[in-house]
Amino acid sequence: MRKITEEEFDSILGRGKGATSPLYNYLLRMKPGEAVEILKKEWHLKYPPTTVVNRVSRKYKIEFFAKGLPDGTGWAVKRVR
């Protein structure tokens, strides 16, 4: 445990009601044009990350473009707007 400043506290995006994944919180902070790569070996949930992307997109009206990597080792997600 460590003490944080007020600025650090304000920059933390809370979890809100219900469970959220680190990807969910990261998607909410992404700016248009930013992209992220998610490797299968890092993804430990039963459903693919595109499920989380679609959930965030519908709930917050944020547009993303998600696709699988050509070699099948993961996914890439880009925020469009």
What is the end-to-end Cα distance of the chain in Å, rounded?
36
What residue numbers bound the domain in which 53 lies?
A: 6-79
Alpha carbons within 13 A on the beta-carbon side of 14: 5
- Tell me, yes or no, whether 25 lies in a domain: yes
At 19-42, the pLDDT tens digits run: 577 888 889 889 999 999 999 999
- Tell me, yes or no, whether 50 lies in a domain: yes
At 45-54, the pLDDT tens digits run: 888 999 999 9
Distance (Å, whole) CA 3 – CA 70: 44
- Tell me, yes or no, whether 1 lies in a domain: no
- Based on C-alpha coordinates, what's the Rg of the chain? 14
Give how many domains the chain has, as a whole number.
Answer: 1
- Tell me, yes or no, whether 37 lies in a domain: yes
